[in-house]
């Protein structure tokens, strides 16, 4: 137990303040009861406590410090119960039989060890083995013969015959692929081989009956239609005959026949020949126009009556066909493909060429609609620039006469630009200028050199209404103004 010291302050109701350091414990309370164990098994722990009170106790109140002491002990030290749990099943054991397996003939085991039960834990519930049927298909059973039966009675009392005895493969019957019995299931023996008196030598049996000697005489075996000891009586075959559906029986020697009313046949008129019912109404026509064969039908049935007992079926077919709405269907016209455009109709410049189509793909027939739209289509075409021949403009006015007398020449012009020749067109025909004499009257003779300055030493020579400069070597020009650069 550990003791701790506290430095505590207390205020009394009389307003006296104590500041006391407590050494040691003045009073211990009693221990409390033990608390609950922390585990139910495998060693848990539990505690209890008591209180140490300070130096002054006032009406049950502890002053001067208080401390709690705890004590611990082990509890529930017994081991915990471990409940058992099954392991997984092992492999099935080898099947002890190859066929005919029944319940519980194959098993597999498991073990109560995952974990094993311990410390009082419960064991695993259920059984440790699991059973099943294996190779349950039945085993083959080989057949075995029963005992032989007794021989049958002999069919004659003399003359010899055979009798027989039998046995069955049922002891047991072969099953599930088992082997069948080996050997014969019947056995014959000769009986009553003593010769008989020949009673049949006198041929007592009539109407084709056979005769057999017996120890006391003979016996006749009659053919059908006869009876009596010697088969001498012709039986009326119609007595036991029922000719059906109103047929009449006709007795013959050792035979009969049925005479049937129309619609029936067979030995006893039991066969009913089929007969057709009336036709149903025609089916709805599947088309509104353009009908062809077999596109409308109506039916009848072989049930008036139905053929029975081998009677013949109705002759012919059960359906009748006809054409309905056979008028041709309207066919709306459709255009053919466009043709190629034709050649341009002009040799130069802009023109228009065309292409066409025909309403024949198909053509409208039987009231069908004609093709919609135009059958011809135009587009512009270009054959290159056209030649432009030149044309003269109007004449210009004549130029002013260069002289006032003595005769001069004035000129007028025109241009080949109305229009200008282009793209290989012809030029204008004729002259582009025209001259005319003007002021032809004689001029008074005036010394034209008066006002002329012939340069570089040139000499002026007067002419009629004109002048000229006679230049010194090295100069030319109207007024000798052009030097020839001669050194």
20 pLDDT more than 80: no
The CATH classification number of 349-365+377-443 equals 2.20.100.10
- Tell me the CA distances in angstroms from 146 to 152, 170, 262, 345, 401, one per residue in order: 17, 6, 60, 120, 171
pLDDT digits (tens, 9 = 90+) for 375-414: 999 999 998 889 999 999 999 999 999 988 888 899 999 9
- Kindly state the average pLDDT of the residues 8-24: 39
Domains 349-365+377-443 and 448-483 share a fold: no
Q: Alpha-carbon distance 248 to 258, whole Å?
A: 5
Q: Which CB contacts under 8 angstroms, 24+ apart, belong to 278-286?
A: 279/320, 282/322, 282/324, 285/324, 285/325
d(CA 157, CA 168) in angstroms, rounded, equals 29
Report whether CATH 3.40.50.10420 matches the domain 448-483: no
Query: Residue 11: its pLDDT value, please?
Result: 37
Handedness of CA 447, 453, 454, 459 (dihedral sign): positive
pLDDT in tens, 239-294: 778 888 888 888 777 778 888 888 888 888 888 888 899 999 999 998 888 888 77
CB 149 within 8 A of CB 165: yes
Q: Is the pLDDT of residue 18 over 70?
A: no
224-228, 328-332, 353-357, 359-363: segment of lowest average pLDDT: 224-228
CB 64 within 8 A of CB 54: yes
Residues 195-221: what's their mean pLDDT? 84
pLDDT > 90? residue 147: yes
Q: What is the pLDDT of residue 485?
A: 67
Query: 28-64, pLDDT tens digit by residue?
Result: 778 888 989 988 888 889 999 888 776 555 555 555 5
Q: Does the pTM exceed 0.75?
A: no
pLDDT at position 4 is 37
pLDDT on residue 55: 56
pLDDT for res 64: 58
CB–CB of 48/30 below 8 Å?
no
C-alpha R_g of the chain: 78
Give the pLDDT of residue 467. Answer: 85
Domain edges within the chain: 7-75, 274-327, 349-365+377-443, 448-483
Name the least confident of 73-77, 130-134, 246-250, 442-446. Answer: 442-446
Q: What is the pLDDT of residue 85?
A: 94
pLDDT at residue 59, rounded to an integer: 56
| Res. 16: pLDDT tops 60 | no
Q: What is the pLDDT of residue 108?
A: 92
Whether the predicted pLDDT of 338 surpasses 90: yes
Q: What percent of the chain has pLDDT over 90?
A: 37
Superfamily holding 274-327: Thrombospondin type-1 (TSP1) repeat (2.20.100.10)
HEC-encoded secondary structure of the chain: CCCCCCEEEEECCCCCEEEEECCCCCEECCCCCCCCCCCCCCCEEEEEEEEEECCEEECCEEECCEEEEEEEEEECCCCCCECCCCCCCCCCCCCCCCCCCCCCCEEEECCCCCCCCECCCCCCCCCCEEEECCCCCCCCECCCCCCCCCCCCCCCCCCCEEEEEECCCCCCCCECCCCCCCCCCEEEEEECCCCCCCHHHHCCCCCCCEEEEECCEEEEECCCCEECCCCCEECCCCCCCCCCCCCEEEEECCEEEEECCCCEECCCCCEECCCCCCCCCCCCCCCCCCCCCCCEEEECCCCCCCCECCCCCCCCCCEEEECCCCCCCCECCCCCCCCCCCCCCCCCCEEEEEEECCCCCCCCECCCCCCCCCCEEEEEEECCCCCECCCCCCCCCCCCCCCCCCCEEEEEECCCCCCCCECCCCCCCCCCEEEEEECCCCCCCCCHHHHCCCCCCCEEEEECCEEEEECCCCEECCCCCEECCCC
Q: If pLDDT is split at 50, 70 and 90, which confidence band does 14 have?
A: very low
> What pLDDT is stored for residue 2 in this prediction?
37
């Amino acid at each position: 137990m550990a003791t701790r010291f506290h430095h505590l302050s207390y205020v009394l109701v009389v307003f006296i303040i104590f500041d006391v350091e407590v050494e040691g414990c003045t009073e211990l309370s009693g221990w409390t009861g033990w608390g609950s164990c922390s585990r139910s098994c495998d060693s848990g722990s539990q505690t209890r406590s008591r209180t140490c009170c300070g130096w002054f106790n006032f009406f049950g109140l502890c002053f001067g410090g208080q401390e709690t002491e705890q004590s611990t002990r082990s509890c529930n030290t017994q081991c915990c119960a471990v409940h058992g749990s099954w392991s997984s099943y092992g492999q099935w054991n080898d099947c002890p039989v190859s066929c005919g397996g029944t319940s519980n003939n194959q098993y597999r085991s498991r073990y109560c060890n995952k974990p094993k039960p311990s410390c009082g834990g419960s064991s695993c519930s259920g059984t440790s083995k699991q059973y099943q049927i294996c190779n349950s298909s039945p085993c083959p059973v080989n057949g075995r013969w029963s005992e032989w039966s007794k021989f049958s009675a002999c069919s004659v009392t003399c003359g010899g015959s055979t009798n027989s005895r039998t046995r069955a493969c049922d002891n047991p019957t072969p099953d599930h692929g088992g082997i069948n019995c080996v050997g014969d299931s019947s056995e014959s023996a000769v009986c009553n081989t003593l010769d008989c008196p020949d009673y049949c030598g006198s041929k007592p049996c009539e109407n084709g009956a056979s005769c057999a000697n017996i120890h006391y005489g003979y016996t006749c075996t009659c053919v059908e239609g006869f009876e009596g000891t010697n088969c001498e009586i012709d039986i009326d075959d119609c007595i036991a005959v029922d000719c059906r559906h109103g047929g009449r029986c006709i007795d013959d020697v050792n035979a009969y026949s049925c005479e049937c009313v129309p619609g029936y046949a067979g030995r006893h008129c039991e066969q009913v020949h089929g007969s057709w019912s009336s036709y149903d109404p025609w089916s709805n026509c599947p088309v509104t126009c353009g009908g062809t064969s077999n596109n409308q039908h109506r039916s009848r049935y072989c049930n008036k009556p139905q053929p029975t007992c081998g009677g013949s079926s109705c002759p012919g077919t059960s359906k009748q066909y006809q054409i309905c709405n056979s008028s041709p269907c309207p066919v709306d016209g459709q255009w053919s493909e466009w043709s190629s455009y034709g050649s341009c109709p002009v040799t130069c410049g802009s023109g228009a060429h065309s292409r066409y189509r025909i309403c024949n793909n198909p053509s409208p027939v039987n009231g069908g609609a004609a093709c919609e739209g135009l059958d011809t289509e135009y587009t512009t075409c270009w054959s290159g620039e056209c030649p432009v021949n030149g044309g003269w403009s109007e004449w210009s006015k004549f130029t002013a006469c260069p002289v006032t007398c003595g005769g001069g020449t004035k000129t007028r012009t025109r241009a080949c630009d109305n229009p200008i020749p282009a793209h290989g067109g012809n030029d204008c025909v004729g002259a582009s200028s025209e001259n005319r004499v003007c002021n032809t009257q004689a001029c008074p003779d005036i010394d034209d050199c008066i006002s002329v300055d012939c340069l570089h030493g040139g000499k002026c020579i007067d002419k009629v209404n004109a002048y000229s400069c006679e230049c010194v070597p090295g100069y030319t020009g109207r007024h000798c103004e052009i030097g020839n650069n001669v050194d």
